[in-house]
Chains A and B, each alone.
Chain A
Amino acid sequence: MSPDTSLPENGWIGRPLPRAATRRLIEGRGRYTDDHAAKGELHAAFLRSPFPHAAFRIVDRDAARALPGIRAVLVAEDLAGLCRSWRCESRAFPGLVSPEQGPLARDRAVYQGEPVVLVLADSRAVAEDGLELIGIDWEELPAVTDAAAALEASSPPAHQGLASNLGWRTEFGDGDVEAAFAVAALVVETQLTFTRHTGVPLEARAVLASYDPSAEALEVRLSHQIPHQMQVHLAELLGLPMGRVRVIAGDVGGGFGIKMHVYPDEVAICAASRLVGRPVRYVCDRIEAMMADIHAREHVMRARMAVDAEGRILAFDLDDIQGLGAYSVYPRSSTVEAMSVLRAVGAPYRFDAYRARLRCALQNKVPTGQYRSVGHPIGCATTERLVELAARARGEDPLEFRRRNLVPEAIMPWTNPAGGRMASLSHAACLAEFERLVDLPVLRAEIAAMRAQGRCVGLGLAAVVEYTASGPAAYGLAHVPVAAMDTVVVTLEPTGDLVVRASVAEIGQGIQQGIVQVVADAVGIATSRVTIHTGDTGNAPHGGGAWASRGAAIGGEAAWGAGRKLRAEILAAAAALLQSAPERLNLRDGQVIDATGMPRMALADLAATVFFRGHELPAGLQPQFTATQQYRREEDVFLTTNGFQASLVEVDTDTGLVTALRHWVVGDCGRLINPLLVDEQVRGGVVQGIGEALLEACRYDAGNGQFLTGTLADYLLPMADNAPDITVGHVETPYAGSVLGAKGAGEAGTCGAPAAVLNAVNDALASLGAHVSEMPITPAVILRALGTLEAAP
């Protein structure tokens, strides 16, 4: 008999199984939010501010109200009695400046797309007709667009009444940075510009809110990553007890962090449903989504790295400006991204000193927030660019420079001077697997051959450390009500099947499949006999949902614990009925077996006995065939994972076009619950990173601050012909602090891809004496770097 905490051999955990739920989706039987109908529903449309900064006065709603089919024309004052305003506050960011927000703007709009008026009508088309009839006087105010300029004393205010546009600032670090740079044999520096961009899940945000006045209860279908979080906030904002707020996230068409926040328009829809006592449907159209979804990753990073004569990194010195947006995203704060950037710098490496200075600028742009890998891509690109510069200055192989500086296993656990705790990282093993997978000598020979043909190709590397699966202290210390725990309930049905209700959220990443595999092993039953429900706060217990790649690491532990509890109850009941002892029995494939492996009782028979023939049970035996485990991780605020990426690109030096030819990833995210699904998470993440590096940008008019890239014709997303084949390899070092040993896997692809691509482009351009230091690396950026086009003014 194996000990209780060891995983079964040849079990379900670790198998590369397709995601069972996709059978529905391939047949077009998905049930996304807009696929549901509600009797008597009204359709909503928002009048959104056409200006980045403007005062407004609503002068006429009667014309709109008079249009046949229009049922209500609502402004901030109409919702004020039903819905509180909110302000982002976090003890992690003392002094954070984030003005109060409500579901609809009042008197002033501070970003283009901010919702101002809400129209309810019999159809979306008629609601949009109504928008056009609203009389509203606008007084344009100066728009604050550029983040660095926003911080100058001469900048107009992004919010009237605020003394400056400084949303937050901090300076932190450890070690004597000045001394390190003073004695350094080599100092390299860079300034990198990262352009704001956004997540663009294909299913735009959608909400169907149904308030029942007779029950004073709200039911909300919502495309969201964390239904329980929304339950908390909707209850609080609308003054309803949580028990009368039900949030249902069914099939969600992608999240990527975009759908983990509290959005004013979604809150407004819920308040409106309460006001009119009818269901209200709102689907963000793509134009609205581009301008009103949270954006991310607008940073100007100045960074220096000190290196000693032996090529060891001594210190990092950083100055980061974040373009935060008009408000800090609620409830977590947009500054979380900036801290994540800074903590990611240097993370793979050993160094002695670190200083980071951060200023977060308020701007007349939509708020920024968490977007896949939250800040890490910027920290990683900064680090890996400095590493490349150092290796080049020293005339040595960039891989050797990295190898020398990777945090050695011998010193871990180790908290680096940035405050990042490095524990159980497998840099050496990953590097070995990476070298095997990429076969650098062969690849370098191929590159040499391509260059001999006159092709401008480059190879870029990136070492990756990703902080995953945030523990309770991450938001707990900040007093921000985010659940970093998960709860799983496993129930045995009378037929011997299992039903699982879990607090994790399925957004396509496959966590439902992972949990099913965990429970199947924990109990001893085939996955085909396990059904899982997630996403509905009406039946899923409270927990964290989907963010920070936490489903397997946290939800998985809860699932294992609940499954083992149920297994113990099953074996105790079986033992009593078989006149044996639980330790002499086991469960395998839905059969109770004895020590010789002989099946003694089918789980279905046991269940039927307990549920329907309880009189056959011995006195005092009360089997508990519903088991619950609530799990929070007690150690390690984050689970760090590690890996390496390589990008091979080709630069057309005439046109400036960059093609990503190939990409490789090797990572260690602890135990792989389902390697097939993890691989595809990595690939998807890499291509998002390639989009960040080469294509995606939210652009604004330098004069009036108008948002210029508001359609998918202007905002360029990677399509099938812009994405390379991606080779993925793994090292599996189970995390010692949990039973399953799983860490977060879903975001590391995005963390390292922009860094690898940036380094690859610069490797390609090096022979021409050129380099680039901004993303996205557009053709114009390349041609300016080559001197073909004049520098931008």
Chain B
Amino acid sequence: MELTDEPMAEMACTVNGVPVRTRVPLRQSLVDWLRHGIGLTGSHVGCEHGVCGACHVQVGGRVVRGCLMLAVQVDGEVVETIEGATASGRIRALQEAFFARAALQCGFCTPGMLLQAAELLAANPDPSRTEIREALSGNYCRCTGYHAIVDAVEAAAARLRA
């Protein structure tokens, strides 16, 4: 549905392996478009100023803050959200570890946290607890106090190394 008067732009990208061709409001953020434009509500909005990490998605294979990119900017890009990462199976070890360790409570931070943890493990398969805490220091969680999250990332890393 196009809103009266709102400046729009053409945009074509791939989201979770599926080509998308659409028009987006120029000023709409990437995370808002993913959530409300194409219904991928697994990425969340927590602050809209780049501090909390709830909005993490992958663009061009790198984790980015979805609130700090415009939807129009992913034209020509490959985008992956928590839904796509789940479907691909590439974060299954982390997800299982988070589940088993109760490394999530309300779950609102979890998609962003999982994507960031996955990027850490891809670069550093055997991180120390300190390195895990540092890598996740841009993902706000209010429920867990982080200890269980660090345990879960450690456990997933060990399982992936085995």
Contacts and interface: CB of A to CB of B under 8 A. Distances in A.
A252 B137 contact: no
Given A69-B6, A680-B148, A720-B150, A253 B106 contact: yes
Interface string B30-56: 000001100011111111110110100
A86 to B, nearest CB: 29
B124 interface: no
Interface stretch (A156-164, A387-395, A504-512, A549-557): A504-512
Interface pairs A-B: 7 shortest CB-CB: A28-B42, A508-B106, A25-B107, A253-B108, A687-B145, A28-B82, A508-B105
Contacts of B43: 28
B102 A18 contact: yes
Contact of A69 (B4, B28, B42): B4
Interface stretch (A101-109, A375-383, A618-626, A711-719): A711-719
Contacts of A18: 99-102
A203 interface: yes
Interface of A: 18-19, 22-32, 34-35, 37, 68-69, 122-123, 125-126, 199-204, 251-254, 256, 283, 285-286, 507-510, 676-677, 679-681, 683-688, 711-713, 717-721, 723, 725-726, 749
Contact of B49 (A29, A286, A510): A286
Contact of B134 (A203, A681, A721): A721
Contacts of B81: 28
Interface stretch (B58-66, B71-79, B109-117): B109-117
Nearest to A681: B105
B142 A256 contact: yes
A720 B117 CA distance: 12
B142 A285 contact: no
5 contacts: A26-B95, A26-B104, A203-B108, A680-B148, A721-B137
Contacts of A125: 6, 25, 27-28
Contacts of B142: 199-202, 254, 256, 684, 688, 717
A720 B146 contact: yes
Nearest to B36: A37
B133 A19 contact: no
Contacts of B110: 25-26, 28
Contacts of B51: 711-713
Interface residues of B, number: 60
B152 to A, nearest CB: 10
A26 B139 contact: no
Contacts of B102: 18-19, 22, 510, 676-677, 679-680
B147 A508 contact: no
Contact of B35 (A23, A35, A201, A202): A35
Nearest to B83: A28
B15 interface: no
B100 A27 contact: no
B136 interface: yes
B3 A254 contact: no
Contacts of B3: 69, 122-123, 126
B49 A711 contact: yes
B90 interface: no
Contact of B137 (A253, A509, A685, A720): A720
Given A125-B27, A719-B140, 13 more contacts: A18-B99, A26-B98, A27-B42, A28-B81, A32-B44, A68-B5, A201-B106, A204-B46, A253-B107, A508-B104, A680-B148, A687-B144, A719-B146
Contact of B107 (A30, A123, A283): A30
B160 to A, nearest CB: 16
Given A26-B114, A30-B108, A69-B5, A35 B25 contact: no
A684 B108 CA distance: 14
Contacts of B127: none
Contacts of A35: 35, 41
A725 B95 CA distance: 21
Nearest to B40: A28
B143 interface: yes
